[in-house]
């Protein structure tokens, strides 16, 4: 079976058809982030307490809410269902700077038992405000460092332009995903951060496959404009791109459908990320590479021929 054979789509020529929706999506995400004062962080990052309670039968959400909020500040009570039809309630409460973390759980459980006793605590998590701030800083530091490291490696192995284009595409993916999460009212927890890292790795991988082909085609020394070469490279790798993305998307979808409530946020990010990441290597990374290298050529720098310091 063959999906694509000798395709000759003009991806770069029609790039605006694709960049425009992507820009709109990014803008919507940014607006949502601005309106909501940044992403919705989970207790992992903000500090706070979350009690996950499994209920026998349908949980009386309203009664739980009134019972708990009369005792604790900043309480939210959310029902969570999965395909298996479990009845779980997530109860979260704020933690203030000088609160006694030990008493908090007692308080929550006591409030719950005034409703009825047909529940069991499935997990409990409480994070002091200080720890949360630390984690946020550390996550940003790690992501920034990783991006810088990849930029450096690509600049050495290919050229600076390739690195800039690939890292820009990666930032584009992360930004769109975080924006979408904000639009969908999804929280950013530690697990979601792991998913964001996965998506960054995936997007990078996808971009490098295309760029590798561009470099190879440039080495073979065909006399044609760079835009042609990039287009040809995207077409040559198209069946691989579609097949790999399709297969990975299948895996991510099965994780979203069967993975259960704990993995829900994780697999949602993965599904969004695979679609956006595939898209960005073709319609974001490649145009940026083209513009960067053309700009270099215009400024009288060396023509975009063979990359120095190549593989062999």
Partner 1 sequence: MNRMLIRRSLLILAIVVVCALVILHSPVRLGLDLRGGASLIAQVKVDGLLPQQQREIVEQTRQILERRINAYGLSESPVQLYGSRGDELLVQLPGVSDFSRIKDLLQSRAVLEWYSVAEGPFTSDGEVMARHGGVLPGNTRLLTTQPGADGRRAWYLLERPPIIRGTDLRDARVSTDARNQPVTTFMLRQDAAERFERYTQAHIGQRSAIVLDEEILSIPLIEDVIRDAGQIRGARSLQEAQDLAANLRAGALPAAIEVAQERIVEASLGADSIRHGLQAAAAGLAAVVSTMLVYYRGAGANAMLALVLNGVLLIAALACFGAVLTLPGIAGVVLTIGMAVDSNVLIFERIREELRTGKPAAAALTAGFSKAFATLVDTHVTTVVSCAFLFFFGTVAVQGFAVTLVIGLIMNLFTSVFVSRVAFDWEMTRRGPVEGLSIGLPQ
Contact call for residue 255 and partner 1 (CB under 8 A): yes
The footprint of partner 1 on residues 278-307 (CB under 8 A) is none
Query: Which C-beta is closer to partner 1: that of 23 or that of 156?
Result: 156
Which residues, 6+ apart, have CB-to-CB distance to 101 below 8 Å?
A: 49, 95, 126, 128
- The span of 29-37, 148-156, 172-180, 225-233 binding partner 1 (CB under 8 A) equals 148-156
Q: 81 or 303: whose CB is closer to partner 1?
A: 81
The residue among 200, 172, 216 whose CA lies nearest residue 269 is: 200
| Residue 195 beta carbon to partner 1: minimum distance, rounded to whole angstroms | 6
Residue 12 or 195 with smaller CB distance to partner 1? 195
Ranges within 150-209 binding partner 1 (CB under 8 A)? 150, 152-154, 157, 190-191, 193-195, 197-198, 200-202, 204-205, 208-209
Give the CA angle between residues 265, 134, 267 to the nearest 5°. Answer: 10
Minimum distance from residue 246 beta carbon to partner 1 (Å)? 7
d(CA 81, CA 92): 17
Contacts of 87 (CB under 8 A, 6+ apart): 54, 55, 56, 57, 58, 59, 79, 81
Spatial distance between the Cα atoms of 272 and 253, rounded to a whole number of angstroms? 10
Shortest Cβ 19–partner 1 spacing (Å):
24
For the chain, how big is the Rg over CA atoms in Å? 24
133 binds partner 1 (CB under 8 A): no
Smaller CB separation from partner 1, 38 or 246: 246
Return the residue of 32, 42, 92, 147 that touches partner 1, per CB under 8 A.
Answer: 147
| Gap between the Cα atoms of 81 and 186, Å rounded | 15
- Distance between the two ends of the chain, CA-based, in angstroms? 34
User: Does 125 participate in binding partner 1 (rule CB under 8 A)?
Assistant: yes
The smaller minimum CB distance to partner 1, of residues 32 and 111, is found at: 111
Residues 256-275: x where in contact with partner 1 by CB under 8 A, - otherwise, as a string: -xxxx-xx--xx--x-----
**Residues of this chain, 233-252, that bind partner 1 according to CB under 8 A:** 236-237, 239-240, 243-244, 246-248, 250-252
Query: Which positions from 70 through 89 interact with partner 1, judged by CB under 8 A?
Result: 86
Instruction: Give every CB contact of residue 17 below 8 A, 6+ residues apart in sequence.
Output: none
Calpha distance 32→29 (Å, rounded) = 5
Compare residues 260 and 295 and give the one whose CB is closer to partner 1: 260
Q: Which of 101, 184, 301, 306 binds partner 1 (CB under 8 A)?
A: 101
The SS3 call for residue 154 is: helix
Paired with 55 in beta bridges are 119
CB of 178 to partner 1, least distance (A): 17
């Amino acid at each position: 079976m063959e999906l694509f054979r000798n395709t000759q789509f003009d991806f770069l020529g029609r790039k605006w058809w694709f960049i425009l929706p992507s820009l709109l999506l990014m803008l919507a995400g940014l607006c949502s982030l601005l309106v909501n004062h940044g992403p919705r962080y989970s207790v992992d990052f903000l500090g706070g307490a979350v009690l996950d309670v499994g209920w026998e039968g349908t949980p009386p959400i309203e009664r739980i809410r009134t019972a708990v909020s009369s005792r604790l500040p900043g309480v939210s009570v959310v029902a969570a269902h999965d395909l298996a039809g479990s009845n779980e309630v997530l109860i979260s409460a704020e933690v203030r700077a000088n609160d006694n973390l030990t008493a908090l759980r007692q308080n929550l459980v006591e409030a719950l038992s005034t409703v009825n006793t047909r529940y069991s605590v499935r997990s409990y998590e409480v994070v002091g405000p200080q720890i949360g701030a630390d984690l946020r800083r550390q996550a940003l530091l790690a992501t920034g460092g990783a991006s810088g490291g990849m930029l450096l490696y690509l600049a050495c192995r290919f050229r600076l332009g390739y690195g800039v284009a690939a890292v820009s595409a990666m930032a584009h993916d992360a930004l769109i995903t975080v924006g979408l999460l904000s639009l969908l009212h999804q929280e950013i927890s530690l697990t979601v951060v792991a998913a964001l890292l996965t998506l960054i790795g995936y997007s990078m991988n996808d971009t490098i496959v295309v760029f590798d082909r561009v470099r190879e085609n440039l080495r073979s020394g065909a006399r044609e404009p760079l835009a042609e070469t990039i287009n040809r490279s995207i077409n040559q790798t198209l069946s691989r791109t579609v097949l790999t993305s399709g297969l990975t998307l299948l895996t991510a979808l099965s994780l979203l459908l069967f993975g259960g409530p704990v993995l829900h946020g994780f697999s949602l990010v993965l599904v969004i990320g695979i679609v956006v990441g595939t898209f960005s290597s073709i319609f974001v990374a490649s145009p940026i590479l083209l513009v960067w290298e053309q700009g270099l050529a215009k400024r009288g720098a060396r023509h975009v021929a063979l990359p120095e310091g190549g593989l062999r």
